[in-house]
Amino acid sequence: MTDPQIPPDPFPLFDSWLTEAIAGEPNDPNAMTVATVGADGRPSLRMVLLRGHGPDGFVFFTNTQSRKGDEIAAHRQVALLFHWKSLRRQIRIEGAAELVTPAEADAYHASRARNSRLGAWASDQSRPLLAREILEQRVAEMDARYPGDIPRPPHWAGYRIRPVYFEFWQDMPFRLHDRMIYGLREGGDGWDTGRLFP
C-alpha cells in the first residue's frame, strides 16, 4: 500500500534527516547500530560509523575476520539503526550486505589516521586479548614494520548494505509517534510506502 503523503523515495528523506543530525546531534551523527545473525541464529549488535551512502547502499568498514564479519559471511541479511536522541528520531534499515570493491576499501584505508591503519594490522578484532600491553606491543611492531606507507590489510574491508526496507520514526506528543515505512518493490522498481501504528 502506498501513502500519497509520504515522499516516494526514501533516500532524499534520509539525506535530509542526516543533514539535520550533523547540524544538531552533539556526538557522532553518523553512528549506526549494525545487527547481524550468526550461523547459530543468535543476533548480535554493535555501533559502527557510516562512511558512505546513496541509492546503492550504506557503507561501513571493519575487519572481515571480526564477529560481525563472520556473521555476515554466514548470513548476509543485516539491519541498521540510526538513533538521534536530540532530534527524537530514528531510522531502521534492512537489507543484504556485500563487500565494497578493493579500490573503495583502499581509498578509505588511505584516508584514516596512521594509528588507525596500524591498529587494523595489530588487532585480531573480536578475538580474546590476554592483556592490553599485547595490543600496544603489536601496534609498535607494525609501526616499525611500516615506517612509511601502510598498506591495507587483506582482512580489512568495507560492507555495503543494499536496503530493501526503511522505517522513519519521529517522536510525537503523547507517544503518538509517526512511523513511515518503505518497502522495495519486487524487481527493484520503486518503493511502496505506508505508515505503522505507534
Catalytic residues: 175
Burial 81-94 (b: 16+ CB within 10 A, else e): bbbbeebebbbbbb
Alpha helix (H) residue ranges in the chain: 10-24, 67-74, 102-111, 114-122, 132-145
Burial 103-122 (b: 16+ CB within 10 A, else e): ebbeebbeebeeeebbbbbb
